Structure 1
Amino acid sequence: MSGNVVLTPQLLLALLAGLTAGGGLALMIASLIGWPRRQRTGPNAAQQLVVFARRRGWVAGGVGVLVLLVTRWPVAAIGVALLVLFWDRLFGGAKEEKAALARIEALASWTESLRDTMSAGAGLEQAVQASARAADPALRPHLLTLIDRLRAKTSLGVALDAFADDLNDGSADLVIIALKDNARQRGPGLRDVLSELAETARDEADMRRRILAQRSGTRRSVQIVIGVITAFPIGMAVFNPAYVEPYQTLQGQGVLLLVMAFFVGGLVWLRRLSTVPAPDRLLIRQQEVYR
C-alpha cells in the first residue's frame, strides 16, 4: 500500500491517546516493580524538574506552540520546546562552573584563614567562629549556620557533619574530616594538614579556571551551530513550504523524529564528555534536621 498519510486533527488526537496510554502503562509497571532507592544528599530529579518547569516552562511552551502554528510539525514543536527548556543544561553550564570555581576558592581561603587563626593559639571552635567574619560570600551563610549550631550547644562533631551536608561538596569533606579528627583527638599537626588541603584546593581552582577559559569559545560556537540548524528548517517551512512538504505527512514526521533522536543523543553525549565531574562525597549520612 503506497501513498502519504496526511496529518489530521483526528490522527494527532489518536497519536496523543496512544502516547498517553503508553505512558500510563509504563508508570503502572514502574509502580509494581519499584525503583531502587538511593541515598539523597540534595534535591531529587523530580524537584529539579519542577524548578526547571517553573522557571522556563512558559517560555518553552510558548515557543513550541509558535513552531507548531508555523510549521504544522508536532515533532518539531515538541523538540524545540524541549530545546528551550533544557538549553542551559545542554549548551550552558558556564554559570554552574563559575559557581563551583568560586566555592572552591572560598574553601581554600577559609582553610587558610582557619589555619592562621589556630596558629595564633586559638582553639578549633574559636577559630571557626573567627574565620566566618572574613569568609567569602559563597561560604559565609553556611559558616554562620555552623556557628549558630555551636552556640546552641550542639557538639562540634555533629555540627561539622551538618556543615558537610549543607556544603554537599567532596572537596569540603576533606577539610571537615580533618577538623573532626582534631576535635576527637586534639592532637598536633592540624595546621600542616590544613595547609596541604588549601594548596590542593588552589590547584583544583587553577585547573578549573583554565578549563573554563578554554570552553568559553567552544561553547559559543556550539550554540551558534545549534541555532542555525534549528532555524534553517523552520525558515524553509515559512518561506519555501513546498520544499519541506514531505514532512507534513506521518512518514515525514517519523523521519524527523528519528533525526532529532540522533541529534539529541549526540548533544547529550557531548555534554557528558564536557562535564567536569565533581569530587565524590566522603561524608554521606542520613539527612537529619538541625535546629
Structure 2
Amino acid sequence: MSGGLFSLTTLLALLCGVAVGGGLGLLVVALRGLPPRTVEERAARQRRLSELATFFGRRGTIAVGTALVVLLLTRWPIAALASALLAFSWNQLFGGAAEERAAMRRVEALASWTESLRDTIAGAVGLEQAIPSSARAAAPALRGPLNNLVDRLRARTPLPDALQEFADELDDSSADVIIASLMLNARLRGPGLREVLGALAKSAREEVDMRQRVMAQRASTRRSVQIVVGVSVAFPLGLAIFNPSFVEPFGDPLGQAVLAVVCGLFGLGFWWMRRLSTIETPERFLARAEPASALRPREPATGRLPGLPGLPGLPGRRDGGAA
C-alpha cells in the first residue's frame, strides 16, 4: 500500500509540475502576443478547433473516465495512462469497420448516380441540366455533396470549378476518376460521354463487390484481434484487483518503469497489427493544396478592366491609339 501511495504522490507531483509549466507558457504567450492572422487563416483555425473539440470531446471523456477507474482499482499511474491511451485510440487501432462501410456506400451511391447521369444525358441535354436532374434521386451518402454542386451551378459557378469542389467534398480516389471525365467533357465538349460513364459505373460496381469480399474476410480477423487485446488487458487488471500480492512489485517506482516498458511493447504490437490490416487505397489525383480562390491571380485595384490599359471601364488598345 505504501508503494501505491508513493506512486500516487509522484503522480500528483508530476501533474503539479505540468500545471506550473503550462501556466508559465501561457504567461509568456500573453506577454509576447501572437502574430496577426488573415480572415482565411482565422476561419481555417476555427474550423480545425471545432473538429478537434468534437474529436476530443467524446473520446477524451471516455479516456479520462477509464484512467480514473483503473487508477482507483490498481493505484498504478502507468496502467491508468496506458488504459486512457488505449481507450482514446481504440477506433484507430481496432476499429475502422464503420469507415469502410461508409466508403463502400459512397462508392455504390456514386455508381448509381453515374448510371442515372448517363441515362439523363441520353435525352440530348447538357451536363449543366443533367446534373440537377440526376441529383434528385441520389442516395443519401451522396445527396449532401450533390446538393452543394447543384447550388454552385445555380450560382453561375463554372462547371469545372464546381466539379472540383465536388471532388474535394467527396475526397475519394474512386470519385476522382468519374469527376475527371466530367471535367474533361465540360472543357472539351467531346462525344462519347455516355460510353465513358457506363464503363466507369461498371468499374465502380466491381470495386464495391471487391470491397464486400475483403470486408467479409477481415471481419473474423478483426474480431480475433479484439479478443486478444481484451484478454491481454483484462488479465493483469484482474490480478491487480483480485490478487494484489501477486503483482505487488509493480507498486514501487521501479515496477512502474518496468510496467511502462511492457505497456509500450504491447502498444507497439497493437499498432503493428493495425498497420498490417490496413488496406492501402490509391491517392487522389484531383486533390489540390489551396482553394480555387487562392489559385486565381489577383488584379491590382486600378479601377480599370483587368489586363486592359485603357480608360476606367472602357477597353483600350496596346498602342494607345483611338478605339
Shorter chain as denominator, the TM-score bin is 0.7 to 0.9
Q: Deviations over 1:139-173 (max 9, x none)?
A: 01111111111111111111111111111111111
Sort the Cα spacing of 1:263 and 1:240 in 2 relative to 1 into closer, same or farther, 3 A: same
Tell me how far apart the structure 2 counterparts of residues 47 and 249 of structure 1 sit (CA, whole Å). Answer: 41
Where does 1:169-208 land on structure 2 (aligned, <5 Å)?
169-208=172-211
Q: CA deviation at 1:52?
A: 2.6
Cα deviation digits, residues 178-203 of structure 1 (max 9, x gap): 11111111111111211221122112
- 1:21 offset after TM fit, Å? 9.0
- Structure 1: distance between partners of 2:109 and 2:167: 15
Given the superposition, is the C-alpha separation of residues 63 and 139 from structure 1 closer, same or farther in structure 2, using an over 3 Å criterion? same
Q: Give the counterpart of 2:287 among 271, 284, 287.
A: 284
Q: CA contact under 8 A between 1:68 and 1:77: conserved in structure 2?
A: yes
Gapped runs of 5+ residues in structure 2? 29-43, 294-323
Aligned residues: 273
Q: Report the counterpart of residue 82 of structure 2 in structure 1.
A: 79
Q: 1:249 corresponds to which residue? A: 252
Preserved contact between residue 7 and residue 77 of structure 2 (Cα < 8 Å): no
Which deviations, in whole Å up to 9, do the C-alpha atoms of 1:96-153 show, x marking residues without a partner? 0000000011111111111111122221111111111111110011111111111111
Q: Distance in 2 between matches of 1:131 and 1:11?
A: 64
Q: 1:133-172 residue pairs with structure 2 within 5 A?
A: 133-172=136-175
Tell me if the contact between 1:6 and 1:249 (Cα under 8 Å) persists in the aligned partners.
Answer: no
User: Does the alignment pair 1:132 with 2:135?
Assistant: yes
1:256 Cα deviation from its structure 2 partner = 0.9
The structure-2 alpha-carbon separation of the partners of 1:10 and 1:71, relative to structure 1 and needing over 3 Å to count, comes to: closer
C-alpha displacement of 1:174: 1.1
The residue type equivalent to 1:159 in the other structure is: A
Q: CA deviation at 1:277?
A: 2.5
Relative distance call for 1:8 and 1:80 in structure 2 (3 A) is closer
Closer/same/farther in 2, CA of residues 21 and 277 from structure 1, 3 Å limit: farther
Kept in 1: contact 2:8–2:76 (CA 8 A):
no
Equivalent residue letter for 1:287: P
Aligned AA (2:11)? L
Q: Give the superposed CA RMSD.
A: 2.8
Higher relative contact order (CA 8 A, sep 6+): 1
Contact 1:5 1:250 in 2 (8 A): no
Equivalent position SS for 1:139: helix
Do the aligned partners of residues 208 and 23 (structure 1) sit closer, same or farther apart at CA in structure 2, a change above 3 Å counting? farther
The answer for the alignment partner of 2:101 in structure 1 is 98
SS at match of 1:161: helix
Counterpart pick for 1:261 among 259, 264, 285:
264
CA distance in 1, matches of 2:217, 2:9: 51
Matched residues in 1 for 2:223 and 2:238: separation? 22
Equivalent residue runs for 1:30-45 within 5 Å: none
> Hey, what does 1:36 align to over in structure 2?
none
Which AA in structure 2 matches 1:59? I
* Aligned residue number for residue 6 of structure 2: 7
Checking the alignment, whether the CA contact within 8 Å between 2:8 and 2:77 is kept in structure 1 is no
**Structure 1 residues 129, 256: closer, same or farther in 2, change over 3 A?**
same
Q: Tell me, yes or no, if the aligned pair for 1:168 and 1:281 is still in contact at 8 Å.
A: yes
Task: Tell me the distance in 2 between the aligned counterparts of 1:136 and 1:113.
Answer: 11
1:70 aligns with 2:84: no
SS of 1:277 mapped into structure 2: coil
